[in-house]
Structure 1
Amino acid sequence: MEREVSELADKKVAVIMGSDSDLPVVKGAIDTLKGLGIGVEVHVMSAHRTPALACEFAASARDHGFAAIIAAAGKAAHLAGVLAAHTTLPVIGIPVKSSTLDGLDALLATVQMPSGIPVATVAIDGAQNAAILAAQIIGVTDAEVAYKLSVRKEEMKQGVIEKDRKLQEQLG
């Protein structure tokens, strides 16, 4: 058992974008993962233009030490589903806002997966939450990551308490 846990402690997360134009969105996930001490590898792959490459990546992701895959895509947003179809790793989809339907098309495409091929889905452009979810998955078996997440939550709590204190002072 100890061997399995220590192996999991070295896991990393893949962040796959359907287009390099998605980088401003996924940067939040990349920064969050790095801030939690989780390895991250970022690639551009298309469900439509490089389907064989995307499928091959997903099929071998576990063997390459990944604990989860985050997939960001807009419009038809098939990337997360294609990746999920070729791996047993958790896949977290980030629907990316596009100019046509403000990302609603991507949200629906990402969340509406067939039975047996789940994709966890965060909000439109919700890259930071995708990273937190991946970290929570890793934190199930990695105490250090779980601790960092608990510290992060405590900091958020204290931030809200401080804002309320300032508001009460202001309102007198």
Structure 2
Amino acid sequence: MKFVSIIMGSKSDYEIMQNCSETLDKFNVKYEMIISSAHRSPQRTKDYVKEAEAKGSVAFIAAAGMAAHLAGAIAAATTKPVIGVPMKGGAMDGMDAMLSTVQMPSGMPVATVALGKAGAVNAAYLAMQILAIFDKELAAKLTEDRIVKEKAVALDSKEIEVIL
């Protein structure tokens, strides 16, 4: 069974990361979701990555705030794609999380998405795009979703547009 792994550094990330799991649910994409810290529970994190890979995880989504580098710790433990979601909060309101997630050394890639809700949703979409490389049904659903979004923009515009 192929699925996506969602790992949060702390319970405080759950409210935002629910947007990630809800997006995957919308497309009937299976996922696991756990809390594990790169710094407070490093062995748990490493063990989970190996267990998830063995069960069929295709991609890892890692959400952490401050300079806690969960995505980097996961990238060090796997060759599967890792998507980092920097979380807002702390003294720098997410800037430290964003910089620590995006600044990876050569050969240890982490795809970094936006802070907060947009990042949680985009992480789900990016993981689904990875899955869709080999899943034509999911690829079709993602294409249809883009068409629906395009039509919604046109409808919104019709309500307010003024064109000469």
Fold shared, TM-score > 0.5 on shorter chain? yes
Give distance in 2, aligned partners of 1:36 and 1:63.
23
Q: 3-state DSSP class of the match of 1:128?
A: helix
Are the aligned partners of 2:65 and 2:90 in contact in 1 as well (CA < 8 Å)?
no
Equivalent residue for 2:90, pick from 80, 92, 99: 99
Give distance in 1, aligned partners of 2:50 and 2:108.
14
- 1:128 and 2:121 matched: yes
Are the aligned partners of 1:58 and 1:84 in contact in 2 as well (CA < 8 Å)?
no
Listed one character per residue, the Cα deviations across residues 84-130 of structure 1 (whole Å, up to 9, x for unaligned) are 10001101000000131120100000000111111000001110000
Equivalent residue for 1:79, pick from 64, 70, 73: 70
- Name the structure 1 match of 2:30: 39
Equivalent residue for 1:62, pick from 53, 58, 67: 53
TM-score for the superposition, normalised by structure 1? 0.90
The alpha-carbon deviation at position 65 of structure 1 amounts to: 0.9
- 1:154 and 2:147 matched: yes
Give distance in 2, aligned partners of 1:35 and 1:146.
14
- Name the structure 1 match of 2:157: 164
- 1:145 and 2:138 matched: yes
Q: Identify unmatched segments of 5+ residues in structure 2.
A: none
- 1:112 and 2:103 matched: yes
Q: Which runs of 4+ in 1 moved over 4 A?
A: none
**Matching residue's letter, 2:9:** G
**Matching residue's letter, 2:125:** I
Give distance in 1, aligned partners of 2:90 and 2:108.
28
**Matching residue's letter, 1:133:** L
Give distance in 2, aligned partners of 1:142 and 1:18.
30
The alpha-carbon deviation at position 25 of structure 1 amounts to: 1.0
The alpha-carbon deviation at position 40 of structure 1 amounts to: 1.1
Listed one character per residue, the Cα deviations across residues 53-111 of structure 1 (whole Å, up to 9, x for unaligned) are 11122233221111111000000131000001000110100000013112010000000
Q: CA RMSD in A?
A: 1.3
**Matching residue's letter, 2:35:** V
